[in-house]
A and B are shown apart, each in its own frame.
Chain A
Amino acid sequence: MQHSVTFTYDDRQAQVTVPTNTLLSEAARLAGVEIGQPCGGQGRCGRCAIQVTGGNVRRRSTLRLSTADLEQGYALACQTVIEGDATIYVPPQEKIERRLTTDRVVAEVSVPADYDYLLCQTVRRLFVSLPPPSMDDQTDDWSRLQTALRLQHSIERLTCSLGVLRKIGPVLRQGEWQVTAVVEYTQPPDRSAARLIDLLPGRLDEYAPLWGCAVDIGTTTVTLWLVDLVTGMVHAQVAEYNGQIARGEDVISRIIYASRPGGGEELQQRVLETINGLLERACKRVKSPDAPLTPQQIVKVTIAGNSTMMHLLLGIPASSIRLSPFITVVNHLPPLTGREVGLAVHPEALVDCLPGVASYVGADITAGVLSSGLDNAENVMLFLDVGTNGETVLGNRDWLVTCACSAGPAFEGAGVVHGMRATSGAIEEVWINSETLEPTYRVIGGGKPKGLCGSGLISLLSEAFLTGILDKGGNFNLAAPTPRVREGAHGGEYVVAWGDETATGEDIVLTRVDVDNLLRAKAAIYAGFTVLAENVGIPLESVERVLVGGSFGKYINVEKAIQIGLLPDMEWSRFEFLGNTSVKGAYYALLDWRKRERITHIARRMTYIELSADNTFYEAFTSALFLPHTDLNKFPSVAEALSRTHKKSEEEAPYATRADTNLS
């Protein structure tokens, strides 16, 4: 029986007559309407969604559509057959670039609702009016200032550095005894003890920005947020690879490098340069009507980072971290100043290094736990930091256990031939057509691709696996019928983008070595949390939510991450992607002393489990070193996807032939 199908697209219409059971995608092709099918018409990618505005169709699969989509008449063109006359609306291309039901996008940063500068902030700007000295009142300048701050702001104990002392005389006179003091309350909530950070002449606008910044020093990536402490608003977010990468990719090789003569100083210098460069960049982003913002105006810095990064930043010998019994020199650091640390911020700025738990569970994780809210959770949750060091925390408001394993920098785009950070030009998503093995990709910023970021690598690895380009061991199938799979310098490789479509003019490829690095990274992370859960006797299924942190992109496709065996096979709705949780935790601590105290509390109550104590981790690691895992029973949804992919390609071949016959 023949049916008439009318397509509406770009304000145009096309009509075609097809027999019952013709696929919508086939009807569209016959009508000359282009519908992209990145996955090759297997219903895997959801990119061919169209809207059925009238008539009879049957949806064979609705895998990619939400209930709301279905209510609005959406259907997948490649999975929907015609059973009667129908009218179809084809949405424009940009609408097809929709997020999938499995995508988890990082929420925009918003100032915590409970942030009140006057109550929460430890660094404050206080206006002081001093009685000018006279022959009757020969009190020295410092005592005069102290007295004024006591009388006007209840500060009983005021301290300051020699640098500030040198400055106060001229400033008091320049301001004609009307000055603005920048102080740090050293024992919040007590307001009677303070340290004078700076003294400025005159009365400053109370609501003018007061600058602070939150920093996460990752082994691979350093991230910095520039914050106005008065409003709590983040004005700039910048990130750069850690300059120390040139001296080793993981913490162990950094520690070894640091113990060579001059090595520690060099590493310290390298990370300081990275941070100072980021400070410059962040300040330039702030549009200021008068004088441009300079890093010297930043008066408070809160730093998160793993224990090794913290030691290397501060020039503290880190060698004991590497050697049994694996201890740090210091987990809870005292307050420091910009000058001491060597940051390009105000020399008297408070530099607050957040506390760590152990050698391999540092302040990045305590800050991460804070920002993820794990320490307040009622039910058991799992927090994964997908970074160079794969740390895992399991627990709730009553207990927290943690472990760490070395995953390598692959998911941050380092240690991968065409890897890059998740910035403009990075391929962040890939689909591979399972019949032609041709890729479709999405680039951050929309221009020509420069490389692949973490989320792009995850989706590429998963697609290459599902389409049979890679076998379960990560070997390229060189017999795959496409010129994109070829022999490279170190084994097989897959060309994601040919030179003529890239920003560099070079082919963007995924190599065998990259695959190995990615497999090791995902296996370490998977093994880490499975062993941790086993250790405390909590079955993974009973974990209510899985909170994923990591700086590999703005979003993660949970399904792809499960397909490569990075995340456990659970309902997609149980995952939440939080992005860089470490810098976010530092940001919260920067704003609010109560959050800062909570981090100290978190650090004190976390129980650290040493994975190197026996061979269970190694066993779990080697069994995870496979796609998706040696034990496929642990990944039922992937087993199903694999059988679906194979079955579909067999099923659909005869169908295509039938459609062709009807055409002639």
Chain B
Amino acid sequence: MPLEIPKDKWPGSVRTVTLGAAAAEGGTRTKTVTIGGQTAMPYLHFEASPPHPPAVAVEIKSRPPEDWSPLLLEAWGELVNDPAAWAKKAEEIGADLIVLALTLADRPEEAVNVVQSVLRATGVPLIVWGPGQAEKDNELLVPVAEAAKGERLVLGICEDKNYRTIVAAAMANGHLVQARTPMDVNLSKQLNILISDMGMPKDRIIMDPTTGALGYGIEYGYSVMERLRLAALQGDAMTQSPMIVTPGFEAWKTKEAKVGSGVPEAWGDWKERSVNWETITAITLLESGADIVVLRYPESVARVKQAIQELMTA
């Protein structure tokens, strides 16, 4: 008797979201990225293949990063002093998206300039993060949103205590928003409701459920993402946004990636270990439903893209 694999049929699906706008849509991107649209749990091809592959984003900063691992600085070299060149390089090595993180030191006009120069240097869609301090985020992201009107940027990071200004700026200028909540299904849902209540179309919201690196709480992040995805497939409209996560940021915070000396020899080669940490974190998160993974190390991009290709093959 042939074995029949039971198949789940879900009433809901993940919302399809497009980042970036080409000239025809009022932007300047040569490529746009569409994510979401899944109607089954991740990569269960016998139920339904995902209509779009997940995207890999590379994180760059408006100013040379001060707290990054020496391995990252070594890998990008002089590029860290020139965000436009850095972004261009990232695109060349396969980044589908660029994340440009602004810093506290940036003034509004500098932020606008750096965003525009990165847009000129690249053809892929852009995600712009404020420095992560409510007032400063609002001060920088509002002029950026206006200057890049129509580009369908993703503006972030919205949190429950500070989302109104960013959402309003994104709505007025045709951008998307990244909504971050601290590893909790209900909180993700709540922030989505708050943002939608302002009138933001739901297909312009990307959820950031927050995660941890391998060995540093990834299982919590994994479980939250899995439950968000299950809720989405069950038809809960407020959990149907695609998900963005930051394995690069998380992995490069760990001691294993950050520290090269004074660690047990059994840990092996520093660089190899660090890249593994970042890629395994990223791939694990893809398996739990991530639609965008934000990476930092150049070599990780190729490895994760390879894994995506394999995951997308039925």
Contact = CB atoms under 8 A, between A and B. Distances in A.
Given A630-B190, A630-B193, A622 B161 contact: no
Nearest to A512: B161
A471 B186 contact: no
A-side interface mostly: loop
Interface size class of A (residues with CB under 8 A): 10 to 19
Interface string B183-195: 0111101110110
A473 B164 contact: no
A625 B187 CA distance: 9
Nearest to B198: A471
B187 A622 contact: yes
Given A473-B194, A630-B193, A619 B186 contact: yes
A479 B186 contact: no
Contacts of B47: none
B186 A630 contact: yes
Interface in A440-495: 471-473, 475, 477-479, 491
Interface string A593-634: 000000000000000000000000001001101100010100
B190 A473 contact: yes
B184 A472 contact: no
Contacts of A632: 193
Contacts of A479: 164
B158 to A, nearest CB: 12
A471 B194 contact: yes
Contacts, number: 36
Contacts of A477: 164
Contacts of B197: 471-472
B186 A623 contact: yes
A472 B190 contact: yes
Given A472-B197, A622-B184, A630 B189 contact: yes
Interface size class of B (residues with CB under 8 A): 10 to 19
Interface in B180-232: 184-187, 189-191, 193-194, 197
A475 B160 contact: yes
A622 to B, nearest CB: 4
B186 A472 contact: no
B177 to A, nearest CB: 15
Interface string B147-169: 00000000000001100100000
B190 A626 contact: yes
Nearest to B161: A475
Contacts of B189: 623, 630
Contact of A472 (B161, B185, B194): B194
Nearest to A622: B186
Contacts of B185: 619
A622 B190 CA distance: 10
Contact of B186 (A478, A491, A625): A625
Interface string A542-581: 0000000000000000000000000000000000000000
A328 to B, nearest CB: 33
A249 B194 CA distance: 31
B306 to A, nearest CB: 37
Interface of B: 160-161, 164, 184-187, 189-191, 193-194, 197, 238
23 contacts: A471-B194, A471-B197, A472-B190, A472-B193, A472-B197, A473-B160, A473-B191, A475-B160, A475-B161, A475-B164, A475-B194, A477-B164, A478-B164, A479-B164, A619-B185, A619-B186, A622-B187, A623-B189, A625-B186, A626-B186, A630-B186, A630-B190, A632-B193
Interface of A: 471-473, 475, 477-479, 491, 619, 622-623, 625-626, 630, 632
Given A475-B164, A622-B186, 20 more contacts: A471-B194, A471-B197, A472-B193, A472-B194, A472-B197, A473-B190, A475-B161, A475-B194, A477-B164, A478-B164, A623-B186, A623-B189, A625-B190, A626-B186, A626-B193, A630-B186, A630-B189, A630-B190, A630-B193, A630-B238
